[in-house]
Amino acid sequence: MSLYRSIDIVIPSYRLDISFLDPLISMDQPAGWTIRFFLIADNPDVKIPAVIAAWQQEGRIRLIVNPENLGPGGTRNIGIHAGSAKWILFLDDDVLPMPGLLEAYTRAIDQYPDAIGFVGVTEFPEPINATTHALIINGSIGHFDLAKYKPSMVWSPTANVMLNRSKMDPALFDVSLQKSGEDIDFMVRSSFLYNEEYRSVPEAIVKHPWWNNGKVQTGRLFRYGGGGSEIARLPHIYRYTYLDFANSMEIWALLLILLPLGITFGFVHSLFAIGTSVIVAEVFTNLIRAWVKARVFSVAIAFQLTWIRTVYEAGYLYAALSANTWKGIMRRADLGFVKPNPSPFRLNRYKILKMIFMGVLLTLYYVFFA
């Protein structure tokens, strides 16, 4: 077997859902290439469906069942070590490959045989409700299809990514990162180590359904916030963080700290007014964001945008406080990794709008109610 013209396809899975796995295992394979599938079940108690057992027996896949739940990073490490091909394609177990996926990647490899890796496109469906509209407008899924718009990037979600085995940080995925963000950390480390970005392959497309059929993603977004806080404290990523204005959760946390003083010295009403103005200003600002970005005027979408941002910020703040560190407070990571030590206290039109709304609301409160 030529290691150069070979690909290990690593699919971490907890569910072993045949409806997704069958299209992945049955993908058309380009001529002249050796393709091997490694299905890693990250669930020691999983029941192996008969179809998967047959694939294993026929040699179509190699099935590995983790003896304990290792999380996405540890599971991908198992898949990396299981194979030996020069190229490793990571695919999530809830994506559907579009025709020509492997052909698109092999064409890219032939064109750039020494590349650090390639990023495909993971497409979500059209929005189906206020939650999914909000996820799009907020940019929560923006990195999944970024290969459509950028020629290269420092990292991408590992739902659809091809990596060069010889250009990976030997430490692989950090198994201590359990909330999320392990893919950002690993790909950024490798990119910095080899001073190279991953090339986009916009023709390599998979389809991803809406999580839980478009239901509110409170737990996922809280976990994403915690993962963002974890990786922002890592030295190679911390260089790309900057001080910023306090977000809603940080303001509310400060108000909570000041509450005993407010009760003691009689300014608790002012604290309440500030806290309320934060919420109302966020909703008003998100009404405008929805109109500017998607040309929809919807209170429901504005509330969902507010909820998405609040839950993410809560996860970020909770992770920082749980780690007994102040490094995550009023500090954000520039995940575009444009340059080290980015300028602090960045403004954009939405931050300015929110400040204006807060100022107006507090002025009205002190004029008419204080």
Q: Is residue 338 part of a domain?
A: yes
Place of tokens 């020509």: 100
Q: Give me the CATH number covering residue 194.
A: 3.90.550.10
Q: Which structural domain, as residue segments, surrounds residue 273?
A: 236-368
Q: Residue 67 in 3-state DSSP?
A: coil
Residue 220 lies in a domain: no
Cβ partners under 8 Å of residue 30, min gap 6? 102, 103, 106
Go through the chain and tell me how many residues it has. Answer: 370
Residue 2: what pLDDT?
58
Q: In what helix (H) or strand (E) does residue 160 lie, and over which residues does it extend?
A: strand 160-164
Per-residue pLDDT of the chain (370 residues; tens, 9 = 90+): 456 799 999 999 999 999 999 999 999 999 999 999 999 999 999 999 999 999 999 999 999 999 999 999 999 999 999 999 999 999 999 999 999 999 999 999 999 999 999 999 999 999 999 999 999 999 999 999 999 999 999 999 999 999 999 999 999 999 999 888 999 999 999 999 999 999 999 999 999 999 999 999 999 999 999 999 999 999 999 999 999 999 999 999 999 999 999 999 999 999 999 999 999 999 999 999 999 999 999 999 999 999 999 999 999 999 999 988 877 889 999 999 999 999 999 999 999 999 999 999 999 999 988 7
* 21 and 93 co-located in one domain: yes
At 242, list the tokens.
């900057």
Same domain? For 250 and 331 the reply is: yes
Specify whether 75 is located in the same domain as 208. Answer: yes
- Identify whether residues 20 and 122 lie together within a single domain: yes
Whether residue 57 is found in the same domain as residue 192: yes
Q: Within a domain: residue 228?
A: no
198, 90: one domain:
yes
255 and 339 co-located in one domain: yes
CA-to-CA dists, residue 362 to 276, 295, 350, angstroms:
9, 29, 18
- Per the structure, how many domains does the chain have? 2
Round to whole Å and give the CA distance between 138 and 135.
Answer: 5
Of 183, 214, 245, which residue sits at a domain end?
214
Task: Tell me what pLDDT residue 28 has.
Answer: 94
Residue 207 CA to residue 338 CA, distance in Å, equals 29
DSSP conformation class of 227: H
332 is a domain residue: yes
For residues 206 and 299, state if they share a domain: no
For residues 117 and 12, membership in a common domain is answered with: yes
Of 184, 214, 244, the residue that ends a domain is 214
Is 171 found in the same domain as 319? no
**What's the one-letter identity of residue 7?**
I
Q: Do 182 and 331 fall into the same domain?
A: no
Q: Does 198 reside within a domain?
A: yes
Instruction: Supply the pLDDT for residue 369.
Output: 82
Same domain assignment for residues 240 and 336:
yes
- Residue 147 within any structural domain of the chain: yes
- 223 lies in a domain? no
Query: Could you say which of 181, 214, 247 is where a domain stops?
Result: 214
Does residue 185 sit within a domain? yes
Residue pair 290/296 in contact by the 8 Å Cβ criterion: yes
